[in-house]
Amino acid sequence: MSTSEPRYRLRLAHLYPDLMNLYGDRGNVIALRRRCVLRGIALEVEELGLGQPFDPERYDLIFIGGGQDREQRRIAADLVERKGAGIRAAVEAGTPALAVCGGYQLFGRSYQPAAGEELPGLGIFPARTVHPGEEAPRCIGNVVAEWEGGTLVGFENHGGRTYLEPGARPLARVVAGFGNNGEDGTEGAVVHHAFGTYLHGSLLPKNPAFADRLIALALQHRYGADVALPPLDDSLEARAHADAAAVALRDARPRRRLPLPGWRR
């Protein structure tokens, strides 16, 4: 690895890393850093927990992982009241963001957990999520979804069903798995350069094209114009991607489109 001065410097805000980190979501940050370092880009990671404000000028990338209802309830007010205006301003200014599962749900307009009161979200994604209750089947398993002429692969495990509203476009189209709600074939959401997804597992190590998309958007945002990303040897990543896709497709038939009577409010 080169020891020379990095050509570019990016700063990532990792929101609530101790509370929102399911199924190796932290691996997304590790993958981003590694893919930056290999190209002479320094990626500084700042962890923002409860009580810390969010300065929209300071960050080139935003990441939040998944968490169960309990963790979501702990962070929701802090996210909306202390960090919300800053995060919304950053996203509106074009800062790329990746929000996974429980984080994705709270980047939407609202999340109704399995029990208790509805949690207001940031409203970045015009989407609402409802958990039909502990008795309802969860959306669990491997996912493959069409994304920009290729595929995204990952693992999902969520009770909440997300419904996109006008103004949100889906990130991807489900080929195998449930995605946003198991009904309409959508997976995730995109607004400006903010991406929401149900894919854990971690997502970016086995979806290097998506990781590079985030890095390219961050460079563009910080340094303007197009900064070309030299290609990396992704042969291992490609194998991991292909294996995950094959497993998702093999498992797909028995678990797609489970009947879910009576759960929707």
Please give the residue ranges that form the binding site for ligand GLN (CB under 6 A): 22, 66-69, 72, 101-102, 131, 157-160
Query: Which residues have CB under 8 Å from 211's CB, separation 6+?
Result: 28, 31, 32, 35, 204, 205
Q: Between 10 and 99, whose beta carbon lies closer to ligand GLN?
A: 99
Which pair of tokens denotes residue 71?
A: 């963790």
Give dist(CA 48, CA 87) in Å, integer: 12
Q: Between 56 and 159, whose beta carbon lies closer to ligand GLN?
A: 159
Amino acid identity, residue 97? A
Residue 254 phi, psi (nearest 5): -70, -20
Catalytic-residue membership of 158: no
Residue 258 phi, psi (nearest 5): -65, 140
Minimum CB–partner distance for residue 158 and ligand GLN (Å)? 4
Minimum CB–partner distance for residue 113 and ligand GLN (Å)? 7
Centroid of chain to Cα 249: 22
Minimum CB–partner distance for residue 124 and ligand GLN (Å)? 17
Q: Which of 14, 36, 101, 139 is catalytic?
A: 101
Minimum CB–partner distance for residue 153 and ligand GLN (Å)? 17
Give dist(CA 248, CA 143) in Å, integer: 5
Give dist(CA 24, CA 155) in Å, integer: 11
Q: Between 139 and 219, whose beta carbon lies closer to ligand GLN?
A: 139
Minimum CB–partner distance for residue 89 and ligand GLN (Å)? 25
**DSSP labels for 153-193?**
EEEEEES-EEEE-TT-B-SEEEEES-TTTSSS-EE-EEETT
Q: Between 56 and 65, whose beta carbon lies closer to ligand GLN?
A: 65
Give the full edge-to-edge strand order of the sheet including 119-120. 119-120, 110-112, 127-130, 161-164
Catalytic-residue membership of 200: yes
CB-based closest residue to ligand GLN: 66
Q: Which of 131, 158, 200, 241 is catalytic?
A: 200
Give dist(CA 208, CA 189) in Å, integer: 19
Query: DSSP letter at 14?
Result: E
Helix or strand or coil: residue 53? coil
Q: Between 56 and 132, whose beta carbon lies closer to ligand GLN?
A: 132
User: Which residues are the active-site residues?
Assistant: 101, 200
